[in-house]
Structures are given as structure tokens and as C-alpha cells.
Structure 1
Amino acid sequence: MADVSPPFTDIEIETRDNGFYEGYSLPIALISKISISLLVVWALLFPLSAGDVLSRLNAGLLHVFNSFYVVIVGVFAWFLIAVAIIPSSGRRRLGRDGDTPEFSTFSWFAMMFGAGLGVGLMVYATAEPLGLWAQNPEIIQGNVEPLSPEALQSAYRYSFMHYGFHAWSIYVVTGLCLAYYAYTRDMPLTIRSALTPIFGAALNGPLGHIVDILGIVATILGVAVTIGYGVSQLVEGAYAVFGYQWLMALGDGTTVPRPSVIGLLVSLVLVMGLSVLSAVSGVGRGVKYLSNLNLILSCILLGVFAVFGSLAFAMSTYASAFLDYLGHFPVLSFEAYGMETELGQWQAGATTFYWAWWIAFSPFVGLFLARISKGRTIREFVLGAVVVPSLVCFAWFAVLGGSAIDLELQGIAQGAVLEASLTNKLFATLSLLLSDSLFQVVSILAVVLILTFLVTSADSGILVMNTIMAGGAVDTGALHRIIWGAILTLLIAALILAGGGGLGALQDAMIIGALPFAFVMALMCASLAKALYRDHLRDKAGELVEEGFANDRNSSNFDPANTTWTLVISSTGNWGLSCGR
């Protein structure tokens, strides 16, 4: 007999009825704030010690869990393929019958794109293909020469992996799990709801608090890294436009110039101030309008590269790289190397770093995706949030990165783009493609785009953190959004100082914080698989009851007041319906 009893939905997250934390779960809010505050104080008072400890702890964890990061992301990707293809799960709607999407497809995609990737794309669309052109597994194994035309295929294979279907699957696993329980079962839009098929009522206690706190901590650290990279590129762009010397640490001529600490901190305060203002205005106004602006400006920037860059080279690269990525998709899903090898060291510094970054970002982006996706089917959600953003990312990498690589191949750049800092490669490429006057105009556009992407990422993160602390409530207090904005600002500033003005401490803290949530995500997949199977059984049970009722109702002996229906489901999946009076 298979169990078709109603699912457990009685999640009870106790929130305060009055006082400063009215509407919030006190344990989740306090433990989250105290944990992050202690990290801030430690990094500010003992920056060298904090940076060293985080670095050593990160290295130790990678030595043990590098393969786990790689394999679990492969599992996420294939899990989503399965639930989208299977008819009984793919056609399920994230909501009740008749529910329609709250946002238009354009706004839905714009918000998803801005929150999920914008800043990373601005930094890495140029930098990632260039970096992998110089170093990737095929080069390490001696199959191709670095910086050669033959190395392009493998460079784009791993670029597409790091920002393609595998990467977006991380976000969508979390988003799909949260949306399914929130909109089909009216459960709180919070992390613990996604584990109810396994743990049930146990999540109403400390276990549920721990799950939600892990989500908040991962979110904070993921957003912190994103903002850290973003403000670094913002400083590079502002220096390109205005030329203010204080924005950059220009070095002694032997090192690549990089943003100064004061430049980073000033930019950080600007970004976070605007983010708090946007977060206070809510999803329907500030986040939505900024996301739409992001998408429009992104299209303009992409158009500039298409017109002035190497479009033919980019398109041929896109087509060949996409087919190569699809052909290697199964192998890339589970290709893990030992840390004692050079390949393992490369993978830990590249692929595992990206997977940890996406996992740390997934509570934030996943919950945000769930928040804006009510009324869509599972198949629509997977296609819209995995396939479409990936194809757009591939276009960016092909057009921006391809233009930069073509400049180097033709000898025009003469190493200028390759030798530029990570966050300056975009502007270094633009300076070679455009006249001085046009470069100034496009650089201003890029700076505005970076700024709006940063604001969108930060304000969405602030909203999500407050939603989790409020037990899934969407409308949270403005004061708490401001407080979390301030905490996030202090955290990023402290870790920048701990990293000596670099982003190393931020990266280490993020990879460490992402690991526990990776295990939570694995449990979320198992929970959703169980929930979808049970709901399929319940649907079949309902159909059989309706069919049996209709057949017996036509009988002349039918007495509805004295009819009892019994559904029998065998362990092999066979169905039966008996009727007794």
C-alpha cells in the first residue's frame, strides 16, 4: 500500500508579536546578526590574522571537499533535466489552478538576470575566456598550447560550463524547491519549507532555525563577494572616465595597477546606500525598475561590441563552443580531479570557486526567483531560468571575450588586455575598439550598468535575508532592511581590509560559508523528488475516486449517503478502487 495521505504543511515559525523584532523570528535574526557581526569585528581588529586563518581553513576544506563540489553540481543539473522532461512533474504549476504569473516575461527575465548574474557577467564576460585561454585542463595536459588558436575550443568549453547550464542549475534547484512548497502547499517562503518531505515537524524547532541561518549566512557571503568584485570594477571604470588618481593604487610600474582601498570603500558606501533605498521601496518598484534598466543597458553594451568588435569571429566561436559544450556536458558534470595533481589545483581555483560562489548565492537568487515566479509551470521555470540565461551568457562571452581574444590574436592589443587586472579587462578592450570620445561615452554607460547591477544584487539580497528572518513573509520592516544593509557594508569593508585591499579574504569566507548549504541543497533535491512522486500518487488517487464515483453514480442502486470508497495502491504501482456500502 502506498501512502497518499496529505503532505505535511504545518510549518510553524514563531515570530515576535511586538517590539523591535515584531514579525521576525528572534533566534534566526539574532544568531545571524551576531555571527556576521563577530566576523566583522574579527576582520576589523585583527585583519592579518583573519585573512591568514580564512586562507588556511579554505585550503583545508578544498583538499577534502573539492570533488564533492564538482559532483553535487552535476547532480543538480541532471536532476533538473529529469523533472522538466518527466510529464507528471514538468507540467505542474507553481501555484493553484488558474494562477497566472505576477510579472511579464520581460520583467521576470530582467529581474532574474540582474539578481542572478549581472555583476559577474560584467567582470568575467571578458576576463574568463582570456584567463582560460591561458590555462585550462587541455593546456595543463599538454594537448594544446596556451594562447593559441587551438586553445580557444577548450577555453570556451570551461567558460560555458562555469556560466552555463550547470551554473544556473544551482540557482534553479533552490528556487524550484522553495516555489513548489510556497505556491502549491501555501507554506512559508523560507529555506526550511523545502526539507519538510524528509524532516516533517522536526523543522519547527532548532533544526529549522539552523537550516534558515545557514541560508542567510551563505547569502550574505555570496552577495559580499559579488559586491566586492563589482565595486572593484566600478572603481576601474570611474578611473577610466574621470582619471582621479586617488581611485587607484598605481604601483611602481612592475605591478598591475588596482583599485585603492579608499576607492573601494567610497564606491562601496555609494552602492550600498543606493541599495538600501531600493530595498526599502520593495520588489514591485525599485528592484523591478532597476532590473528593466539593467537589461536595456546590457543590450546596448552588447550592441557596441557587436558593431565595433569582432562579430563574425564571435558568432563562429559561439556556434562551435556551444556544440563542444553540449558534447562534453556529461563528462563535465562529474569530472573531478585529486587535489594532489596540477589539474586538481586548477579545478579548486577555478571550477570549485565558481560552484561555491553560485551555491553561496543560491539561497538569495533561489528565493528571489521563487518570489517572482508564481503561476509558471516547472518546465517553464527550468527552461526560463536555466536555458535562456545560459544562452545569453554564452552570447556575452562570445562577443565580449571573443573581441578581446581577437585583438590579441591579431597583434593589435599586444598583451594590453591579457596584462590588465581582472576587473579592468572590459575597459582595456573597449579602449582598443573605440575612439577616445566614444570610449568615454561607452565607459560612462558601462559604469552606470555596473552600478545598477550592484544595486540590484545588493537590494535583492537584503530583501531575501529579511524574508527568511521573517518566516517567509514578503513584506518586512524598512528599518531591518536598513540595518542589514549597514551590516553587509561593514562586512565587505572589513574583509577588503583583511585581504589587504584585495578580494582574497572575501573569496575564502564565501567558499567556507557555501559548503554547509551545499549539503542542504542536496537534501532539497531528495525532498522535492519525494514530494513530486507523492503528489503524482495523490493525483492518480483523485482521478480514480472521481472515475469510480462517476461509474457508480450511474447505477440504479447508487446511494451517495452510504457510499465508501477505498483506494488500494500496490508497491509496484498498480491501482485499485473498491466501493462499499
Structure 2
Amino acid sequence: MAIEPPLTDLPIKTADTGFYRGFSVNVTVISKIIISALVVWAIFWPIQSGAVLNGMNSYILGNFAAWYIWVVAFFVIVCLALAIWPTAGRLKLGLDHEEPEFTNFSWFSMMFGAGIGVGMLTWAVAEPVAHFGSNPETIKGLTTGGAADNVRMAYKWSFLHWGFSAWACYGIAGLSLAFFSYRRGLPLTIRSSLTPLFGKALSGPLGHVIDIVAVVATILGVAQTLGFGVEQFVAGLSRIGIGGLVNAEGGATMAGIIIAIIVIMGASTLSALSGVGKGIKWLSNINMVLSIFLLSFFIIFGATWFGASAMFVGLWDYVLALPGMSLNVWKSDGVEGSEAFLLAQWQGWWPVFYWAWWIAFAPFVGLFLARISRGRTIREFVLGALIVPALMCFVWFAWAGGTAIDLELNGGANGVIFDAANGDKIFAMTEFMLSPIADALAWAMALLIVVLLMTFLVTSADSAVLIVNTINAAGDEGPKARPHILFWGAALGLVVAGLLISGGTSAIQTAMVIGALPFSIVMVLMCFSLIKAIFNDGRREAAGVPTLAEPSATPAE
């Protein structure tokens, strides 16, 4: 039987007139209702919502931890296999004659800034410090928490959470969306990536459900990032002399949360109105330059050799241990305080939480990566999206986190850094480094970090608003109605505020872990769909059947 041409037409009904003109009413309205209900529930019934979310989170961690661990390992394998597979690796994410729209520097800047850059300012210091104190090896008694023999373990686990696994989640989503949108001519929306499995049925309710799941996951995943960022932003404002924003325990006050969200979401909404090629591109370039400056400060004036050792030895340990760390699932024996209980608890707090975070972030970052990667080959995309940003994260962790550990071990910090709140650790560290020289320098560095943090947060937030609108508009990348951009900007800010009020960042974490679960299933289907499409395209080429949606071609029925 002759092989059929690929599907190159997936009609998605959008409104022709009125407030929702150009938008899929089913996806947009239902997504708005779900997010609005979450906001109202979290703000007006904070105790009840916190209790329910925590109960659901406990159930998911108890029953789906293995799913999260193994599914992310599967994403890494699929990405690497597609890059190695000759038939797949040479394919362009676009028509054969198309070239990349952005330079490599802008491409990496936008990829890093929107994907993970904001996390570096919190976790590049906080996470190595946390694992230096406790990790599976300390639980097993193989190393000593807070001692020199635990440094390598701290970096092995830090690299796991921010390395190839994280970017494989983004890579799968980005590859699928770019392949089916730019090679097949299908709408740039999540449902298009599943057409080899479900065909034109995705034009109807099934496709609507998939896109709604993606929108909700995106809002919750970005809310997680903004939640951490808001707390750090408030800590930074306090460090540069703005009072009344931090309570006695070092956390953000209600006033601090509100001010930070108004500033960040106001700037991000204005940036979103200008589009990807203007506001987001320039912001990404600015925060890349500022982050290189800050990182250079840690490399030159921080723990230069300690950081170099952490980088290269940690990378070696990470690569060797990656298969075991990626596949191992610890089961609790139910005995509180036992080794098995503590290992399972630690895995829920760290890898499972992170895998849920990256999966929830994947529709946003994936669609954004697809948007900025048109014209690149699959192999170029995988190597660029998995390896380069991961190495950038490793460099940050090695020298920023390494400086913190070295100052505490050998530099006389005496808990100044370790005892600070996670978001405040980088400020505490730079102040400790610079205050002996000049308080003005310490203040100037704190200001630079606040500006850099804001550009990262604005880049993430405005990118998310544009991505959500693209999904709601059936993949239309063109200008969107301003009221919808304003709505999603406000909604994102209210989700962060509501969940912070109802239970702090832990409430955001819980909501995000719950929201990521259904989208993880969609991502597994994306993998099989992409593999099936590429395999069938090889057969089509051999049979002389077109595989591309040329601009002048008539869509296949």
C-alpha cells in the first residue's frame, strides 16, 4: 500500500469577531476560568486550599515519583537518539532553504534567559550549599554533611537537577513543536505535535483539552519561577536600602510581595506588547551581558581554583553517575527516620520536584525555543539546547556556589552565607566579599544583581504571556489583542501572589507538581509522535512522496 503524504492542515476554529477574535474560544475561556478559580480559591480560602493542595501533593509524590524519574530519563534518551540518528539529525526545523532568524549569541541568550537564567541567581549558590549539607550520600553515611569530603557529592546532585535532564524536557517540547509547525505548516500549538497519532481529531475537543493542559501547566510552571524570584527580588531591594519589605525571619512581607509583583509584571506586560523580536530579544541580550559580568566577578575574585575543581571534577562525577541517578527510585519503608524513608523523602523534595517543574515549564520554554529555532537542524537544536545551556548552569554552580562553600570552609564566613535565606544567599556572599573593601562596592553589586534578577524575571514572564496567547490563538504568532496580554500578565501575577499568600513558595511548588502530571503524559506522546513522523518521512523520501508543506502546496486531505 502506497504511503500517504503527511498531514499539513489542522484547522482550529477561532472566533471571527468580537472580543475573542482570532482566539480559540474553547481553549481561552476554559483556561481563564481554571486559572481564575485557582486565584480566587488561594486568596480567599488560603487554609483550605493549602490543605487540599498538600494532600494532593503527598498522593502524587507517594504514587508517581517513579513515573517522574523514569519519564525524564526517557526524554534524555530520546533527545540524544534523535541527534545521533542520521535521518533525524540532518532534518531542518523548517523548509530546506530556511536559515536561522537569530545569531547564535541571541539564540543562546534567549534560550538561557527564558528557560532557566532566573534560577541561577537563587540556586547557583543555594543548591550546592543545600546538597553540601545533605544528600543521599550523607543519608547513607558515606560522606559527612558540611565537611570537605562532601563537596563532590554536592556538585554531582546539583548538576543532575539543572543539567541535561532539565533541558531534555524543553528539547522534546521544542523539537516537536518546531518540526510539526515549520516542516508541516501546522499551527504552532501543542496539539499539532500529536498529529501522527491522532490526526484531524485534534481539531476538536481532544485538541482543546491538550492545549488547555499546556496553558495551565505553563502558568503554574512560570509561577514557580516567579515565586522564587519575587522572594529574592524583595531580599535584594532590602539589601539596597528599601525598608519594610522583609520580616524578622528574612521572608518577604505582604507589602514586599505586592510591590515586587506589580513592578515585575508591569514591566513584563509592556515587554510582551512589543513582541519577541524587540523587547524579549533586547532584554535577553542585556541580561546575558550582565550575567557574564557577575559570573566573571565570581571566577576572578571568588574561589577561582575551588570553582575550577568543582566544575571539572563535578562534571566528571555527574556524567559517570548520570545513568544511575536518572533511573534509581528510592522506596520508603514507612518507618519515619529510617534510611529508606529519608532517601525517598529526599528524592521527593529534590529530583521529583525538579522534574515536575521542568515538565510544567516545558510547554512555555518548548514553544519559545521552537519560535526562535526555525531554520536549525535537529542535531544543532539538540546540541545547542541540551549541552550549551546545561554547561552554562554548571559554570554558575561551580563558581558562584563554590565561592560560597569555600568562604564558609576556608574564608571565615562563619555562617553568614549558609544561614541566609535561599534568595538572600547571593547578596550575603557578595556583601561579605566586598564590605571589607568598601560598603559602596557591596551596595553597587547588590544593585547590579537586583537589575539582573529583574531582567531575568521580566524575560520569563513576558515570554510566558506571549506563549500562552499563541496557544490560545491556535498557534498564531502575530500580534495579539492587548486586553488578552494584559489579562494573562495580571493572571500570572495574581497566581504568584495568591499562592504565596496561601502557603508561600511551598504552595506554588505543590500546585506546579499537580499541574505537571497530565502534561507529562502529553510529552511522552510527543516523543512517540515525533519518532513516528521522522521514520515515516524516511519512507516517504524513498518513495518520492513530499514531506514538507511548501508555501504553494495544497494541504493533503
1:376 matched to 2:376? The reply is yes
1:197 is aligned to 196
Whichever residue aligns with residue 237 of structure 1, its letter is G
Structure 1 residue matching 2:244: 3-state secondary structure:
helix
Output aligned runs, 1:88-103, within 5 Å.
88-103=87-102
- Greater shift after overlay, 332-341 or 314-323? 332-341
Structure-2 separation of matches of 1:131 and 1:4: 55
Structure-2 separation of matches of 1:541 and 1:434: 68
Output aligned runs, 1:148-187, within 5 Å.
148-187=147-186
What's the offset of the Cα at 1:248?
Answer: 0.5
1:307 is aligned to 300
Output aligned runs, 1:88-237, within 5 Å.
88-237=87-236
1:14 is aligned to 13
Structure 2 residue matching 1:535: 3-state secondary structure:
helix
Output aligned runs, 1:348-367, within 5 Å.
348-367=348-367
2:52 is aligned to 53
Output aligned runs, 1:418-429, within 5 Å.
418-429=418-429
Preserved CA contact (<8 Å) 2:125 2:426: yes
- Greater shift after overlay, 205-214 or 43-52? 43-52
Structure-1 separation of matches of 2:62 and 2:287: 39
Preserved CA contact (<8 Å) 2:220 2:515: yes
Preserved CA contact (<8 Å) 1:85 1:379: yes
2:43 is aligned to 44
Preserved CA contact (<8 Å) 1:308 1:434: no
Structure 2 residue matching 1:350: 3-state secondary structure:
helix
What's the offset of the Cα at 1:537?
Answer: 1.1
- Greater shift after overlay, 37-46 or 448-457? 37-46
What's the offset of the Cα at 1:438?
Answer: 1.2
Structure 1: any 5+ residue segments left out of the alignment? Answer: 251-255, 545-581
Structure-2 separation of matches of 1:512 and 1:324: 32
2:553 is aligned to none
Question: Out of 449, 456, 459, which is 2:459 matched to?
Answer: 456
What's the offset of the Cα at 1:442?
Answer: 0.9
Output aligned runs, 1:277-296, within 5 Å.
277-296=270-289
Preserved CA contact (<8 Å) 1:75 1:333: no
Structure 2 residue matching 1:117: 3-state secondary structure:
helix
Whichever residue aligns with residue 495 of structure 2, its letter is L
1:264 is aligned to 257
- Greater shift after overlay, 117-126 or 15-24? 117-126
- Greater shift after overlay, 331-340 or 69-78? 331-340
Whichever residue aligns with residue 506 of structure 2, its letter is G
What's the offset of the Cα at 1:215?
Answer: 0.2
1:507 is aligned to 509
1:324 matched to 2:323? The reply is no
What's the offset of the Cα at 1:543?
Answer: 9.4
Preserved CA contact (<8 Å) 2:264 2:457: yes
Question: Over the residues paired in the alignment, what is the CA RMSD in angstroms?
Answer: 1.2
- Greater shift after overlay, 31-40 or 412-421? 412-421
- Greater shift after overlay, 476-485 or 220-229? 476-485
1:533 is aligned to 535
Structure 1 residue matching 2:348: 3-state secondary structure:
helix
1:576 is aligned to none
Whichever residue aligns with residue 516 of structure 1, its letter is P
Whichever residue aligns with residue 121 of structure 2, its letter is M
- TM-score normalised by the chain length of structure 2: 0.95
Deviations 1:54-93 (A, max 9, x none): 1111111110001110110000001101000111111110
Whichever residue aligns with residue 34 of structure 1, its letter is I
Preserved CA contact (<8 Å) 1:172 1:386: yes
2:404 is aligned to 404
Preserved CA contact (<8 Å) 1:89 1:532: yes
Structure 1 residue matching 2:23: 3-state secondary structure:
coil
User: Given the superposition, is the C-alpha separation of residues 520 and 339 from structure 1 closer, same or farther in structure 2, using an over 3 Å criterion?
Assistant: farther
Whichever residue aligns with residue 520 of structure 1, its letter is V
- Greater shift after overlay, 299-308 or 393-402? 299-308
2:347 is aligned to 347
What's the offset of the Cα at 1:519?
Answer: 0.7
- Greater shift after overlay, 271-280 or 402-411? 402-411
What's the offset of the Cα at 1:478?
Answer: 2.0
Structure 2 residue matching 1:265: 3-state secondary structure:
helix
- Greater shift after overlay, 484-493 or 377-386? 484-493
Structure-1 separation of matches of 2:411 and 2:21: 63
Structure-2 separation of matches of 1:513 and 1:344: 21
Preserved CA contact (<8 Å) 2:5 2:545: no
Deviations 1:145-201 (A, max 9, x none): 111111111111110010001111111110000000011111100000011111112
What's the offset of the Cα at 1:411?
Answer: 5.0
What's the offset of the Cα at 1:9?
Answer: 2.8
Structure 2 residue matching 1:249: 3-state secondary structure:
coil
2:244 is aligned to 246
Structure 2: any 5+ residue segments left out of the alignment? Answer: 334-340, 547-557
- What's the % identity of the aligned pairs? 49
Preserved CA contact (<8 Å) 2:9 2:185: no
Structure 2 residue matching 1:503: 3-state secondary structure:
helix
Preserved CA contact (<8 Å) 2:7 2:184: no
What's the offset of the Cα at 1:433?
Answer: 1.2
Whichever residue aligns with residue 509 of structure 2, its letter is Q
Structure-2 separation of matches of 1:322 and 1:42: 44
Structure-2 separation of matches of 1:158 and 1:535: 39
2:521 is aligned to 519
Deviations 1:214-246 (A, max 9, x none): 00000000111111111110111111111x331
Whichever residue aligns with residue 397 of structure 1, its letter is F
Deviations 1:322-344 (A, max 9, x none): 01111112112211112442111
- Greater shift after overlay, 462-471 or 479-488? 479-488
1:570 is aligned to none
- Greater shift after overlay, 198-207 or 291-300? 198-207
1:479 matched to 2:483? The reply is yes
Preserved CA contact (<8 Å) 1:165 1:386: yes
What's the offset of the Cα at 1:15?
Answer: 0.2
1:573 is aligned to none
Whichever residue aligns with residue 320 of structure 1, its letter is V
Whichever residue aligns with residue 520 of structure 2, its letter is A
User: Moved runs in structure 1, 4+ residues, more than 4 A?
Assistant: none
Preserved CA contact (<8 Å) 1:11 1:203: yes
Preserved CA contact (<8 Å) 1:67 1:338: no
Structure-1 separation of matches of 2:472 and 2:87: 34
1:465 matched to 2:465? The reply is no
